[in-house]
Amino acid sequence: MDYFEHKSLRAALDWQIEAGVLDTIGEEPVDRYAVPAAPAQPKRAAVAGAAPAQSAAPAWADPVAEAQRMAAAAQDLAGLQAAMAAFDHCDLKRGARNLVFSDGVPGARVMIVGEAPGRDEDRQGKPFVGRAGQFLDRMLAAIGLSRDSSVYITNVLPWRPPQNRDPLPAEIAMMRPFVARHVALAQPEFLVLMGNISCDAGLGKRGITRLRGSWAEAYDTPALPMFHPAYLLRQPHLKREAWADLLSLKARLG
């Protein structure tokens, strides 16, 4: 193998890691959409006068109903984190390195709800620790806030979607009960909904350009939709609107 071939292969590998590829490909293709065949049931001899056999209940559960049950049973934040770790209906869990639960100060007056973890968050198990998170810290510092003393942070999804794609509607729906319970247990005075996914989960609406800057109510708490820091890094001309939203939050805090 010459130098240039090795360099090309290394670049391809780095690209796949950056995209979130975690598993190698086996020698045989796997059809992950195939329905597994049901195991054959042994036949039983008919008994005269016996009642007809009852069919077993299907091994299926409503993910949203299960999430509601598990979230409601959590009595504190540690219990909620354990419940989310035990929730097995979201396929994102199988491809993630870590469950990203929260960061900051539980019980802070301000709680930020982001969208989903990225690569850095998945590695460290904390929300908003990558480039967007560093920008978020500077945004908060501009109005005298900090995750170390006065802000609590979480995401709608605790697991990283592959290749940082947008969460699917079904994924948002099954995680929404956990977010609602998270807010109820953290008891913030104000919420900041960062990005379309957070607004979808909290307000049932999308269109962050239209929603931002106007106070609403999410999870029975006053909520301010804002541009996501990652979006602001891609669209720096919108930082003026983000600054106006920060000043609105500062005014509410008094």
Angle at 148 between CA 147 and CA 149, to 5 degrees: 95
| Other residues' Cβ atoms within 10 Å of the Cβ of residue 176 | 20
CATH number at residue 71: 3.40.470.10
Q: What is the mean pLDDT of the segment spanning 75-97?
A: 97
Whole-number mean pLDDT of the chain?
87
Average pLDDT (230-239) is 96
Q: Which helix (H) or strand (E) holds 216?
A: strand 216-218
Structure tokens at 16: 């796949």
Please choose, from the candidates 214, 204, 205, 212, the residue with its C-alpha nearest in 3D space to the C-alpha of residue 231.
212
Q: Is the pLDDT at 144 greater than 60, yes or no?
A: yes
Structure tokens at 90: 């979201």
> Domain range for residue 199?
63-253
Q: How confident is the model at residue 36 (pLDDT cuts 50, 70, 90)?
A: low
Residue 7 domain-assigned (yes or no): no
Q: What pLDDT does 61 receive?
A: 78
The arithmetic mean of pLDDT across residues 178-202, rounded, is 98
pTM: 0.77
Q: At what angle do helices 169-186 and 77-86 cross, to 10 degrees?
A: 160
Rounded Cα–Cα distance for residues 213 and 163 (Å) = 30
Flag whether 45 is in a domain: no
Residue 246 domain flag: yes
pLDDT at 27 > cutoff 80:
no
Residue type, 252: R
Q: What does the pLDDT look like over 89-129, one tens digit per residue?
A: 999 999 999 999 999 999 999 999 999 999 999 999 999 99
Give the per-residue pLDDT at 194: 97
pLDDT(34) > 70? no
What are 113's strand-pairing partners?
A: 154, 193
Structural domains of the chain, count: 1
Higher pLDDT, 37 or 229: 229
| pLDDT cut 70: percent of the chain above it | 76
Q: 44 lies in a domain? A: no
> Per-residue confidence at 50, pLDDT binned at 50, 70, 90?
very low
Q: Is position 87 within any domain? A: yes
The mean pLDDT of 219-227, rounded to a whole number, is 98
Residue 192 domain-assigned (yes or no): yes
Q: Is residue 199 part of a domain?
A: yes
User: Does residue 224 form part of some domain?
Assistant: yes
